[in-house]
Structure 1
Amino acid sequence: MSAMVSGQGTGIETAEPMAGDERRAVSEFTYLLDKSRQLFNGLRDLPQYGQNHWQPHFTRTFDVYTRLWKHQQQNRQLLDARFGLKRWQIGEIASKIGQLYYHYYGARSACSLRTSETGYLNEAFSFYSAIRQRGYYNSADTDTRPDLCVKKLRYVARFVVVSLLLHKYHVVRDLVTELTNEVGAYSRQHGGDEQEWRMVLQEIQAFVDADPWQFLGEGGPIAVATCRLAPSEALALPHGLLVPTPLALADAILVGNCAEQEPPERRRENPHKYLLYKPTFSQLYTFVATAFRELPPDSALLLYLSASGVFPPSDCKERGPYEQGGVMTYTRRDIAAPDPATPAAAHTSLLRHIHCLHPGDLLPFTRKPLVVVVDSPSSSAYKGVYSPFGVPLLCLLSPTSCPKHLTGSGGGGLLTLFLACPVAGIACLCGIGGPLSASLVATCCERVQQGEVEALALLGASQPEPSWLPFLGDVFIRRLVARFILMSCAMRAHRQLRALGSFPESWPPLPTEDLLSNPRLLALVRELATSLDARPAFV
């Protein structure tokens, strides 16, 4: 994602001497070009964790690229004639500006999310679209230099990522076809690393298939249930519920070890976020420690774990914070996910594996307010997390088992699906993968919002554990809690899951009997099931 410009500008001048104004314009362009390269390299090489060192460098880089873009627009004919400016070089500048917008929205190496402001994504999409519409990279199809073909491949791959994040699936389909053709042409012409690019295509397809927000029909997406929250959709605190010293979510670290288990990151307000894909233990601990260090007063840190489970041996009699299992954040092909049904000797070593995150690993960070969400078959291990420092702590834990046909076509965790898009979660519980009409999705979204409001009202009336209350001051955590309650109620009302007896849990626990069996909340669940023509699946 961070291919750098090389060989920018030919430096070719015509035989005719340049006038003073022309020479100054060319000199200014070459200066800005070199400076932009240096700053972009520096931005790429900055540590991926922490905020304080990143913003000043980004601002300088963006300023230079803005000046460079305006300068080439104002002097295009002169630079064509006196500098030998090529169209692919203009495309490269535009591509870097698109990357910078994506940097500010999102991610270096798809790792850290900066602001999640969709306005920056839209700007990146505009620049990438202009490159494609104006054919800036068309010469790469006939050029004999492999580096220019690689530039085009990387540009198209970035364009795919931005289009995916904006749910522009019609663009994604066209780009995937284009990227597939370009990879084949690159391999035929230059004998390049086709296998590496085939893996890129496979990962892109995996993310498309795992996206829970699209309901597919034979002709493509019929309806998309977005989980981006508009300001008008913010859940208000229930009337009469007093929140002492409300906390604001300032940092979120989202961890997944497969595309299908990607945790939700879209939201209305935007804390600083990191999205870590298969991090090693040392990487994850560095990110958590940095976020902990930079956490402002009266703020909370969210750690979202969506990963494979690690289980204790069946003969393990110890009950400490490192004996109950955890999640495997980093997986390699030679490390298989443990199965609780296998003999103890088969996965004892995995329990002690360096990349297993145990509940005990979180204790140092409970010195500040912490929300932990675990979507894993071993989530129950985190019921042992506690705060020895008397600081607010909240854990939302997935069910430890669920029939595979009720976890969505992507294979990801049901908790992640519900928290990110409750309509998709309910549809999976009802055994529906698509197609759904836009009007039906809109109806279901409206009922889900009613359920979220009702869930919070019931929580406020049920005298929740005091440690819950400070977190309810944040609009995003409030939304997570409401959806968690709605999911817990729906699963307890589902006939097959009711018989299985594995439900979401929270720590400190919810007042289960008063809240999750409430007739008003159950009625909303039944209405949703009736809308989806799946009423018999629920009691």
Structure 2
Amino acid sequence: MMTFFRSCFQETDFKEWKLVVQEISRFLKADTAFMNIRPLRYSLVLDLHPDSLPRVATRRSLKLRDAILSSYHHNEVKFSELTVDTFRMLQCLEWEPSGSFYQSSSAKIGQNGGSGSSRINHAQDIADPTLPLNSRKAVLYRPSVTHFLAVLGTICEELAPDGVILIYLSASGRVGHTISPPSGAGTSINTTENTVRNFQSHAMYLDAVTISPFSSSSNIPNPSSRQSKLDCLHFGTRGNGGLNSIYPTDLIPFTRRPLFIVIDSDSSEAFKAISGAEKGEPAAIILSPSCSIPLTTADSSRHHSGSLLTMFLSTPLQAFCLLIGLSGPDVEMDTYNKAEKLLSSSLNAWGLTLATSDMLDPVWAQILGDPFLRRLLLRFLFCRAVLTLFAPSSGKKEFHPECMPSLPTSLQPNASACQTVVLQMANIFGATKKFIFSEGIVLPAHSDVEMASSS
């Protein structure tokens, strides 16, 4: 293919097309192993119909009307300005047109994501008039803070009375480049030109090391350190005066509207400061772990596979498999389907538990009637239970995701309901020894899954 492009285009065009092909190849490789198993979008064939969702006793029921999605990590998988994390979140907030994607198959998952001679009928992959309209979405790549705030402000201004806004932000909180203080700081400069230049340089330096008012003095970055940590998210190059940095305080003014916030970052803990500081509407917040668990499968690093929390929220079973060291070619389709059915029924049971709980916070109760937000919340519960019970991260809170406000104790990671589901899932793949369960947690007697050889 490269030879063809070189013969057809000039050298400059060839380099640009080569980059495009490389980006497409990396993007497809990130999900190819599990492709064509289950659509990322909400499917009425596989997911609960909105009319069948359990009723929740709440004074109001909100619907997802708008979403703002932004992801930026150094050397991450992307195509043009669409990153793999943003793509996954974008897809899982869409309706799946009836009959267009999902097809049953009993063959083993191959390198191309599936086998069999049947082909997808693309004529069916069109807007389905029987489905509600999809929510509006703004996808921002490396936005400046002014651009981000302008878009968010416009969305808030136009939000329907029964609407809620989803804010998904995935970026690093670490500073990757040294910011040196101006060499002339603190010295006497005689010329006006040098004085102005030095003042501007000094101002940029101060902006670059300014921290959120919610952070402690121990988090102030050391200019000599190349990996200092700030209480914000970086969506661009470092040392630009914070023009691409988003702080928790930047979001607080917009809490006059209902927000569902997902922060996927090593500095996610800083965004706890939003809870309790809202200006009118308590926010629903999901926070990623501050530390990432190294994955053992080939090409499963952060750069190759995307964020683990985002993967759990969009493709939870795929994330579970990668966590225990399995990739697509290692999984039999029958085994995968069995695990998929178990996970689906378990999440539906957890959803019913939440809907009928007297301890459910109104912030969560008011969004449980929305199929997309409900699914994200239930998948978060699964992610939290798995990472809490996973042996390498057991007892280490920095590896566990969090949510605010808290959810009922009956669905905490160490609750019997959660441990039993994780045990059943691990048992299907023969990975029970990779998790640490409480004494007395056993497989249900009615389970039709034979105990696999644990690894």
TM-score, normalised to structure 1's length? 0.57
Q: Equivalent residue for 1:247?
A: 62
Amino acid across the alignment from 2:38: A
Match 1:380 to one of 269, 274, 290: 269
Does 2:353 align with 1:458? yes
Q: Distance in 1 between matches of 2:294 and 2:412?
A: 27
Q: Distance in 2 between matches of 1:463 and 1:231?
A: 30
Q: Equivalent residue for 2:108?
A: none
Does 2:309 align with 1:415? yes
Q: Distance in 2 between matches of 1:451 and 1:529?
A: 14
Q: Equivalent residue for 1:521?
A: 418
Match 1:264 to one of 89, 93, 111: 89
Please give the residue correspondences for 1:428-439 in structure 2 after superposition, counting only pairs within 5 Å: 428-435=322-329, 436-439=331-334
Does 2:248 align with 1:359? yes
Decide whether the 8 Å contact of 1:254 with 1:303 is kept in 2: yes
Decide whether the 8 Å contact of 1:374 with 1:397 is kept in 2: yes
Please give the residue correspondences for 1:18-417 in structure 2 after superposition, counting only pairs within 5 Å: 177=1, 180-187=2-9, 190-211=10-31, 214-215=32-33, 224-232=37-45, 233-234=47-48, 239=54, 241-257=56-72, 258-259=76-77, 260-262=84-86, 263-266=88-91, 267-268=94-95, 270-310=134-174, 319=214, 325-329=231-235, 331-332=236-237, 335=238, 353-386=242-275, 387-405=277-295, 408-409=300-301, 410-417=304-311
CA deviation digits over 1:202-256, x for unaligned, max 9?
2212211222xx426xxxx6x6332222224136677563132100100011111
Decide whether the 8 Å contact of 1:250 with 1:301 is kept in 2: yes
Amino acid across the alignment from 2:256: R
CA deviation digits over 1:95-154, x for unaligned, max 9?
xxxxxxxxxxxxxxxxxxxxxxxxxxxxxxxxxxxxxxxxxxxxxxxxxxxxxxxxxxxx
Amino acid across the alignment from 2:283: L
Higher relative contact order (CA 8 A, sep 6+): 2
SS where residue 319 of structure 1 aligns?
A: coil
Decide whether the 8 Å contact of 2:212 with 2:232 is kept in 1: no
CA deviation digits over 1:288-341, x for unaligned, max 9?
122112211110110101112247x99989536998611112x24xx3xxxxxx
Amino acid across the alignment from 1:432: L
Decide whether the 8 Å contact of 1:458 with 1:515 is kept in 2: no
Seen in structure 2, the aligned counterparts of structure 1 residues 231 and 483 have a Cα distance that, compared at 3 Å, is same
- What percent identity do the matched residue pairs reach? 27
Decide whether the 8 Å contact of 1:440 with 1:531 is kept in 2: yes
CA deviation digits over 1:459-503, x for unaligned, max 9?
332612222211212111011001001111111111111143321
Q: Equivalent residue for 2:184?
A: none
Q: Equivalent residue for 1:474?
A: 370
Q: Distance in 2 between matches of 1:404 and 1:523?
A: 25
Decide whether the 8 Å contact of 1:398 with 1:503 is kept in 2: yes
1:454 CA drift (Å): 2.4
Gaps of 5+ in 2: 78-83, 96-131, 176-207, 221-229, 437-455
Decide whether the 8 Å contact of 2:56 with 2:368 is kept in 1: no
Decide whether the 8 Å contact of 2:58 with 2:362 is kept in 1: no
Amino acid across the alignment from 1:265: L
Q: Equivalent residue for 1:24?
A: none
Tell which deviates more after alignment, 283-292 or 421-430: 283-292
Number of equivalences: 335
Gaps of 5+ in 1: 1-176, 336-348
SS where residue 57 of structure 2 aligns?
A: coil
1:504 CA drift (Å): 0.6
Q: Distance in 2 between matches of 1:382 and 1:283?
A: 20
Question: RMSD between aligned alpha carbons?
Answer: 3.0
> Greater share of helix residues, 1 or 2?
1
Seen in structure 2, the aligned counterparts of structure 1 residues 239 and 252 have a Cα distance that, compared at 3 Å, is closer
TM-score, normalised to structure 2's length? 0.67
SS where residue 431 of structure 1 aligns?
A: coil
Q: Distance in 2 between matches of 1:181 and 1:234?
A: 49
Specify the structure having the higher radius of gyration (Cα). 1
Q: Equivalent residue for 1:424?
A: 318
Decide whether the 8 Å contact of 1:379 with 1:397 is kept in 2: yes
Decide whether the 8 Å contact of 2:257 with 2:280 is kept in 1: no
